[in-house]
């Protein structure tokens, strides 16, 4: 018989209590917002054991919720053995400090912003992604540092031996300075990375390859769609913010044109402003695209609200005017009659299932059609020593006809306007003129 019982070393999930307030001004019903908050908590490894809601005209300045609800919150924390209380709206530093004092030091009180930042911290894998998350976290923590040193400030307020040195304020100022210095360092480093990204983006622009960006609400299936269209193996799971870092893959359309597809970070309602600011260099991939595919989860009851949230963030980053196509994904989870009804309501949208591949051929045709807008038909005689130019015509254009002549490749193709400008020195009006040039 063993002397010691084996104990599991697996981390014990924290028990979370969710708190929401209906102020009558939110775009989403409180019930749906709280359900999403629960999914965020589960994504972060917690177990939701209860929730508390209240309707108010405006938040209470000290505790966000009313005094009666605060007492109820304390009772629920004790009865349910809660480890963390998560508010659906952003708390001020003073509200967070007051609530922590009321519920007890052993229970954490955080808001939706802190929860999302924690999830981003877990899922960021690239160097740039980790820097962006760290910057957003420090910007969030900076105004909340005072509460972390409140015990020392309290000692100073009581007077007596040692109080004249101002330990609390000194340490608080030191920490604030360290955080500000770190924020400045991260901003400089991210600025350098942004310069490199802009150079890479400019190189792709100069290459003439048509650029498409996948944007959408978190867990709408963007990464799965990228994998389906390009044969990539990007990490994709049924969880919120499964991938944060942008991934670009090339794709050759049936018409012969080569394009790039970029998967971007997922959006969410009430996305923290400082997080949007920190990820602007990543979101710049969407701003630099020539076509934006707004991927939406057709099976989600809040699908249209999700699209509105995506539109709001695209407007924030200056990408609202880019050509776009709404792509309703996960149609395999709906009855065919429901899909037909949605198609009648949204005739300009595409309806697909990235999981099964249904509708993806139609989506690729739509992308090819959008990419061909503004194309012109040209006929050029490209000399034999311009092999790279021939390659670019095949990659960027749609070949109508071609044949080899004595002076080079005579090709008629539909190409983007910028490609047509490149081919202008070799342009001919017809095959007869080409023959005349060869004879000369």
249 and 368 housed in the same domain? yes
Residue 243 and residue 222: Cα distance in Å, rounded?
Answer: 10
- The confidence band for 7, taking pLDDT boundaries of 50, 70 and 90, is low
Residue 202: inside a domain: no
- The 8-class DSSP code of residue 61 comes to T
In this prediction, residue 149 carries a pLDDT of 45
Q: Binding-site residues, please?
A: 216-223, 241-245, 263-266, 329-332, 353-355
Which domain-ending residue is among 354, 372, 390?
A: 372
Q: Could you report the per-residue pLDDT of 37-77, keeping only the tens digit for each?
A: 999 999 888 999 999 999 999 999 999 999 999 999 999 99
- The dihedrals phi and psi of 49, each to the nearest 5 degrees, come to -110, -5
What mean pLDDT do residues 207-231 have? 86
E strand map for 98-164: 108-111
In this prediction, residue 155 carries a pLDDT of 42
Count of domains observed in the chain: 3
In this prediction, residue 158 carries a pLDDT of 41
Residue 254: inside a domain: yes
Residue 151 has pLDDT above 50, yes or no: no
328 and 379 housed in the same domain? no
What mean pLDDT do residues 73-91 have? 94
Q: Binding-site residues for Mg(2+), please?
A: 223, 243
Residue 425 and residue 161: Cα distance in Å, rounded?
Answer: 88
Residue 31 has pLDDT above 50, yes or no: yes
Which tokens go with 267?
Answer: 């959006």
Which tokens go with 209?
Answer: 């390859």
- The confidence band for 362, taking pLDDT boundaries of 50, 70 and 90, is very high
Residues 6+ apart with CB under 8 A from 134: 121, 186
What mean pLDDT do residues 13-19 have? 93
Least confident of 51-65, 151-165, 195-209: 151-165
Residue 285: inside a domain: yes
Secondary structure (DSSP) of 332-346 = GGS-HHHHHHHHHH-
Q: Binding-site residues for GTP, please?
A: 216-223, 241-245, 263-266, 329-332, 353-355
Q: How far does the chain reach from its first CA to its final CA, in angstroms?
A: 101
117 and 93 housed in the same domain? yes
Whole-number Cα distances in Å, 23 to 57, 60, 61, 289: 5, 11, 14, 37
216 and 346 housed in the same domain? yes
In this prediction, residue 372 carries a pLDDT of 82
- H/E element, 175: helix 167-207
Residue 171: inside a domain: no
Residue 184 and residue 145: Cα distance in Å, rounded?
Answer: 17
Q: What is the share, in percent, of the chain residues with pLDDT greater than 70?
A: 82
Q: Output 93 or 128, whichever has higher pLDDT.
A: 93
Which domain-ending residue is among 337, 353, 372?
A: 372
In this prediction, residue 244 carries a pLDDT of 63
Which domain-ending residue is among 372, 394, 417?
A: 372
Q: Could you report the per-residue pLDDT of 167-182, keeping only the tens digit for each?
A: 445 667 777 888 888 8
Residue 200: inside a domain: no
The residue range of the domain holding 419 is: 375-426
214 and 324 housed in the same domain? yes
287 and 384 housed in the same domain? no
Which residues, listed in sequence order, are joined to residue 379 by a DSSP beta bridge? Answer: 412
Domain with residue 312: its CATH number is 3.40.50.300
Residue 123 has pLDDT above 70, yes or no: yes
Residue 305 and residue 311: Cα distance in Å, rounded?
Answer: 10
- The confidence band for 376, taking pLDDT boundaries of 50, 70 and 90, is confident
What mean pLDDT do residues 21-46 have? 90
Residue 277: inside a domain: yes
Spatial contact of 266 and 295, defined as CB atoms under 8 Å apart? no
405 and 341 housed in the same domain? no
E strand map for 127-188: none
Q: Per residue, what are the HEC states of 210-239?
A: EEEEEEEECCCCHHHHHHHHHCCCCCCCCC
98 and 46 housed in the same domain? yes
Q: Could you report the per-residue pLDDT of 406-440, keeping only the tens digit for each?
A: 888 899 888 877 778 888 888 887 544 444 443 33
Residue in the block written with tokens 């769609």: 225
Q: Output 252 or 434, whichever has higher pLDDT.
A: 252
Q: How far is CA 280 from the centre of its chain?
A: 10
Residue 304 and residue 308: Cα distance in Å, rounded?
Answer: 6
Radius of gyration of the chain measured on its C-alpha atoms: 28
- The 8-class DSSP code of residue 427 comes to B
In this prediction, residue 259 carries a pLDDT of 86
- H/E element, 251: strand 247-252
303 and 357 housed in the same domain? yes
Residue 285 has pLDDT above 50, yes or no: yes
| Number of other residues whose CB lies within 10 A of the CB of residue 232 | 17
282 and 360 housed in the same domain? yes
What mean pLDDT do residues 171-194 have? 83
312 and 418 housed in the same domain? no
216 and 291 housed in the same domain? yes
Q: What is the share, in percent, of the chain residues with pLDDT greater than 90?
A: 35
Largest CA distance in the chain: 105
């Amino acid at each position: 018989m063993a002397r010691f019982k084996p104990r599991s070393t697996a981390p014990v999930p924290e028990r979370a209590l969710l708190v929401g307030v209906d102020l009558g001004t939110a775009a989403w019903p409180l019930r749906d917002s709280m359900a999403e908050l629960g999914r965020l908590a589960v994504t972060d490894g917690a177990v939701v054991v209860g929730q508390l809601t209240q309707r108010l005209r405006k938040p209470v300045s000290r505790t966000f919720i009313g005094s009666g609800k605060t007492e109820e919150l304390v009772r629920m924390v004790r009865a349910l053995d809660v480890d963390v209380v998560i508010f659906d709206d952003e708390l001020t530093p003073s509200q967070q400090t007051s609530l922590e004092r009321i519920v007890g030091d052993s229970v954490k009180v955080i808001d939706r912003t802190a929860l999302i930042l924690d999830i981003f911290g877990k899922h960021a894998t690239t160097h740039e992604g980790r820097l962006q998350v760290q910057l957003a976290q420090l910007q969030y923590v900076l105004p909340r540092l005072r509460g972390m040193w409140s015990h020392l400030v309290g000692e100073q307020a009581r007077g007596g031996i040692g109080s004249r040195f101002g330990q609390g304020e000194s340490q608080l100022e030191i920490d604030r300075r360290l955080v500000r210095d770190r924020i400045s360092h991260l901003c400089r480093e991210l600025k350098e990375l942004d310069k490199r990204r802009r150079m890479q983006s400019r190189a792709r622009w100069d290459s003439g390859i048509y650029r498409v960006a996948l944007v959408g609400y978190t867990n709408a299936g963007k990464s799965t769609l990228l994998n389906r269209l390009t044969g990539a193996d990007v990490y994709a799971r049924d969880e919120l913010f499964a991938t944060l870092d942008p991934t670009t893959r090339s794709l050759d359309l049936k018409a012969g044109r080569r394009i790039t597809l970029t998967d971007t970070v997922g959006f969410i309602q009430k996305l923290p402003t400082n997080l949007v600011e920190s990820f602007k260099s990543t979101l710049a991939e969407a701003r630099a695209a020539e076509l934006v595919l707004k991927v939406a989860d057709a099976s989600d009851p809040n699908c249209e609200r999700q699209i509105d949230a995506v539109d709001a963030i695209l407007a924030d980053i200056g990408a609202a005017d880019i050509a776009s196509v709404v792509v309703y994904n996960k149609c395999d989870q709906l009855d065919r009659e429901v899909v037909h009804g949605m198609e009648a309501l949204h005739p300009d949208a595409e309806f697909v299932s990235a999981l099964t591949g249904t509708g993806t051929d139609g989506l690729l045709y739509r992308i090819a059609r959008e990419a061909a807008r503004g194309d012109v038909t040209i006929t050029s005689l490209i000399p034999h020593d311009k092999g790279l130019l021939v390659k670019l015509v095949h990659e960027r254009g749609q070949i109508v006809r071609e044949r080899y002549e004595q002076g080079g490749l005579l090709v008629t193709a539909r190409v983007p306007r910028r490609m047509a400008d490149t081919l202008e020195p070799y342009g001919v009006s017809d095959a007869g003129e080409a023959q005349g040039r060869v004879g000369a």
